[in-house]
Amino acid sequence: MRPVRLVFFFFAVLLLIPVPGLARVVSVENVRMWPAPDYTRLVFDLSGSVGYRLFTLSNPDRVVIDLHDARLVHPLPALGNNSAIVAGLRSGPRPGHGVRIVVDLRLAAQPRSFLLRPAGPYGHRLVIDLYDPAKAARDRARLRAMEIAPPSREFVVVIDPGHGGDDPGATGHMGTEEKNVVLAIARDLDRLVSAQPGMKAIMTRTGDYYVPLVTRRRMARGADVFISIHADSDPGRSPDARGASVYALSERGATSALAKALASNENGSDWIGGVNLGDVESGVGQVLGDLTKSATIADSLRLGDDMLPYLQRVAPLHSRKVEQAGFVVLKSPVPSVLIETGFISNPRDERRLRSPVFQEATARAIFKGLRRAEPWLLARRGVPLRIARAPAAPHEYTVRPGDTLMRIAQSHGTTVAALRNANRLRGSTIFSGMQLRIPAAGGRG
Ligand SMILES: [Zn+2]
């Protein structure tokens, strides 16, 4: 008995003694670069959390990162040449189990760095964001101006392609990444909106880089609508789930288990994409007040209703009504919807989502929904249609439950008399499902 105990005791003591030279050494396993318009992000994959020191040097401009108790597993990969800020990377050992990484810069960039804990497919990461000071200041000023600007006479559409950068979103069987599909659809929509007189598009991201959810919804302020575009997997991992669906915010639970699971996936995006916790908690993400909230949700549902009939012509609908869940990105004081353009986990949907023809058709369907929502959204904020845009061509409107001639006239920038005239109506009686001819708005106004 006794010797066994002694041996055990001996090993127990041995485990408690720190052995010099055997200190935990962190491996630098990989590096990725994500250039955004105003900054470039470098992400280092690490085998564990690391201590580091970061400083800048000039002549020539460079950033030096000393990682303590770390080693390179293999030489750092070449980063490509598509950053306006980062020219290249060099590395070398430091005395006493360290690694020095030198980032050669094209301009005197301002670095911000933070560590990320394991999330999604990634382990520990060190993130270095290198800002172009001139562009970052311009961007901040533009964002502030958008928030305090008097309502524009244009119909402003914020287009939000989901994910980006380190966050690929969902991945299909053929390796299709959601972030690329939704960017392609968003670009098509951007082109359509920008070509429409009286409409203006703002993209939350224009390339392959991550934008925090709070920044995305902050860009929605001062706009008329916010459209987030996605193509997720079925969280239940069923390859059968397919089709498009439209989501609005819910303040009280989700309308389905799928909606709930999708929202919780989407809300986790920041952890995978990589967000500095300080930014999230600094209050940029202040949520709208209760009073505007319910009104905005009602408008978001109506906006979604305007989209569904057009989406249905492009793809089967997964759900015929606008579903709701607690999507963080939709928490802004403007009507906001999140459109799942299809399930990338479904092989048929994936093939479709990859096709530029389908991407364009989807963008066109969303655009038609926007055109349908534009009159009532503009009327709501008191912008006369005549001023807001070029005269609309005559078109048809299907009467919905609760509509009155007066309301239809107002939201289409016309008068009750003109409506009566165009439709040869004697009284004011209309019924749900009735087709009304809407006369061209404006003209001489
Ligand atoms: Zn998504």
Give the model confidence (pLDDT) of 192-215 as tens digits. 999 999 999 999 999 999 999 988
Check residues 184 and 239 and name the one with the higher pLDDT: 184
Residue 129, pLDDT score: 96
Give the homologous superfamily in CATH for domain 391-438: LysM domain (3.10.350.10)
- Tell me how far the alpha carbon of residue 186 lies from the centroid of ligand 1, in angstroms: 13
| Residue 405 confidence class, pLDDT cut points 50, 70, 90 | confident
CATH topology identical between 26-134 and 391-438? no
Sign of CA dihedral 406, 409, 415, 421: negative
- Please say if the pLDDT value at position 102 is more than 60: yes
- Please say if the pLDDT value at position 285 is more than 60: no
- Tell me how far the alpha carbon of residue 17 lies from the centroid of ligand 1, in angstroms: 48
Q: What is the arithmetic mean of pLDDT over 31-38?
A: 94
- Please say if the pLDDT value at position 443 is more than 80: no
Q: Poorest-confidence range of 110-119, 203-212, 254-263, 290-299? A: 290-299
- H helices within 77-177, ranges in order? 133-148
- Tell me how far the alpha carbon of residue 384 lies from the centroid of ligand 1, in angstroms: 36
Condensed to tens digits (0 to 9), the pLDDT of residues 144-160 reads 776 666 666 789 999 99
- Tell me how far the alpha carbon of residue 231 lies from the centroid of ligand 1, in angstroms: 6
Domain ranges for the chain, please list them. Answer: 26-134, 149-380, 391-438
- Tell me how far the alpha carbon of residue 233 lies from the centroid of ligand 1, in angstroms: 8
- Please say if the pLDDT value at position 18 is more than 80: no
Condensed to tens digits (0 to 9), the pLDDT of residues 154-191 reads 899 999 999 999 999 999 999 999 999 999 999 999 99
- Tell me how far the alpha carbon of residue 263 lies from the centroid of ligand 1, in angstroms: 9
- Tell me how far the alpha carbon of residue 158 lies from the centroid of ligand 1, in angstroms: 17
- CATH fold label, 149-380: Aminopeptidase (3.40.630)
- Tell me how far the alpha carbon of residue 296 lies from the centroid of ligand 1, in angstroms: 22
Q: Poorest-confidence range of 233-237, 275-279, 372-376, 391-395? A: 391-395
CB-based contacts of 344, cutoff 8 Å, min separation 6: 169, 170, 171, 172, 176, 178, 181, 231, 232, 233, 350, 353
Mean pLDDT of the chain: 85
- Tell me how far the alpha carbon of residue 172 lies from the centroid of ligand 1, in angstroms: 12
Residues recorded for the chain: 445
CB-based contacts of 329, cutoff 8 Å, min separation 6: 160, 162, 213, 216, 217, 228, 266, 336, 338
- Tell me how far the alpha carbon of residue 86 lies from the centroid of ligand 1, in angstroms: 29
- Please say if the pLDDT value at position 10 is more than 50: no
Structure tokens at 309: 């009939």
Instruction: Answer whether CATH 2.60.40.3500 is correct for domain 26-134.
Output: yes
Q: What is the arithmetic mean of pLDDT over 345-370?
A: 96
CA distance 326 to 345: 22
- Tell me how far the alpha carbon of residue 420 lies from the centroid of ligand 1, in angstroms: 45
CA distance 293 to 334: 9
How distant, in Å, are the alpha carbons of 44, 50, 272, 297, 351 from that of 26?
12, 7, 21, 48, 41
- Please say if the pLDDT value at position 11 is more than 90: no
Phi-psi bin for 443: left (phi > 0), alpha (psi -120 to 50), beta? left
- Tell me how far the alpha carbon of residue 99 lies from the centroid of ligand 1, in angstroms: 37
Check residues 311 and 241 and name the one with the higher pLDDT: 311
Look at the pTM and tell me if it is higher than 0.85.
no
- Tell me how far the alpha carbon of residue 199 lies from the centroid of ligand 1, in angstroms: 26
- Please say if the pLDDT value at position 19 is more than 60: no
| Residue 106 confidence class, pLDDT cut points 50, 70, 90 | very high
The most confident of 236-240, 262-266, 393-397, by mean pLDDT:
262-266
| Residue 2 confidence class, pLDDT cut points 50, 70, 90 | very low
- Tell me how far the alpha carbon of residue 113 lies from the centroid of ligand 1, in angstroms: 26
Residue 391, pLDDT score: 45
